[in-house]
Amino acid sequence: MGKVIAIVLIMIGVVTAGFGLFVYLQSQKPNAGLRIETNPSATVFMDNVQVGVTPFKKDGLKTGEVSIKLVPNSRSSTLSSYQTKVRLTSKTYTVIRRDFGDSDTASSGDIINLEPQSNKSTSMAVIVSGPDSASVMLDGQPLGFTPLLTPQVDPGDHLIVVSAPGFSQRRIQAQAISGFKLNISVKLQGQAIPIPKILDVATPSAHIQIKTTPTGFLRVRQEPKTSAKEMGRVNPGDKFMLLESIIDWYKIEVELDSTSSGWISSQYADKFE
């Protein structure tokens, strides 16, 4: 009788161990997802292996960082391909959207993923790869300028609008989930900049004063556009003689290593006589 009980207990132990191993193996199965949408359609490469065309959706992927390359399927040879690295998270989808243009400046897109947090709070981070200090609105309310971290966001669906002077705004629908940080990386499309019309040639008594900026400084550029070369930086409170004025831009007299004048955004300067 003792031997029978011992055998039964051993069998129960084996079954229990087998069940535990099964549960463990199930929990180790790849369970991350990836969705990619492009305009126009594109061939998708993952870690240099062709895996399909867009619209693309795949489940059961390993978590961690992967390299993605998108090659537009278009008769136009001028469209630029796109390559990036994204992090795949367990039990969530990472979403890539890309609108191809004939250059990186003319292209736009966004990448959305969820990052687990140690607590149950819900947060959101917005990063813009171009241009600097883009404006962010959440559900119609201004939040600030990129790079931006909002430590508390209500769970649920949200509309995020990212914009900047000289660039087309981008509208993003995303869902925030309790216990995760919603990460959004955005690339804005540069608009064609017409030759600016001079509105005013400043009088010798015209000056400007630099206002407070999100970055703590203001870039001085070679030309009146955000994609122009940066010639130097000025600080809030600094005052300069105003040389020219056009829509959204002031040309100032400023002593820098490589120039004695440059263009600044009029959004961050006050004009005075």
Q: In the listed set 190, 218, 243, which residue is the last one of a domain according to the structure?
A: 190
pLDDT at residue 196, rounded to an integer? 52
For residue 80, what is the DSSP state? P
Q: Comparing C-alpha atoms, which of 6, 19, 74, 89 is closest to residue 41?
A: 74
229-245 pLDDT, tens digit per residue, is 889 999 999 999 999 99
Q: In the listed set 143, 162, 190, which residue is the last one of a domain according to the structure?
A: 190
> 149-179 burial by CB neighbour count: b if 16+ within 10 A, else e?
ebeebeeeebebbbebbbbeebebebebeee
Q: Which two tokens stand for residue 146?
A: 């990129």
- Full residue range of the structural domain in which residue 257 is found: 200-272
Taking residues 176-190, report their average pLDDT: 92
Average pLDDT over the chain reads 84
Which residues have CB under 8 Å from 201's CB, separation 6+?
Answer: 243, 244
How many domains does the chain divide into? Answer: 2
Q: Are residues 109 and 214 in the same domain?
A: no
d(CA 144, CA 136): 6
213 with 266: CB under 8 angstroms? no
Q: Above 80 in pLDDT, residue 77?
A: no
Please state whether the peptide bond connecting residue 30 to the residue before it is cis, i.e. omega within 30 degrees of 0.
no
Q: Are residues 173 and 228 in the same domain?
A: no
Q: Is the pTM of this model over 0.85?
A: no
What are the distances in angstroms from CA 253 to CA 86, 203, 260?
Answer: 44, 13, 6
- 19: in domain: no
For residue 259, the domain's CATH number is: 2.30.30.40
9-29 pLDDT, tens digit per residue, is 445 444 444 444 344 434 557
Signed CA dihedral, 241, 255, 133, 265: sign only: positive
Q: In the listed set 139, 166, 190, which residue is the last one of a domain according to the structure?
A: 190
- 24: in domain: no
Angle at 239 between CA 269 and CA 244, to 5 degrees: 60
Overall size of the chain counted in residues: 273
- 18: in domain: no
Q: Are residues 68 and 89 in the same domain?
A: yes
85-131 pLDDT, tens digit per residue, is 999 999 899 999 999 988 888 899 999 999 998 888 888 888 877 78
Give 203's pLDDT tier (boundaries 50, 70, 90). Answer: low
Q: Are residues 170 and 246 in the same domain?
A: no
Taking residues 27-50, report their average pLDDT: 90
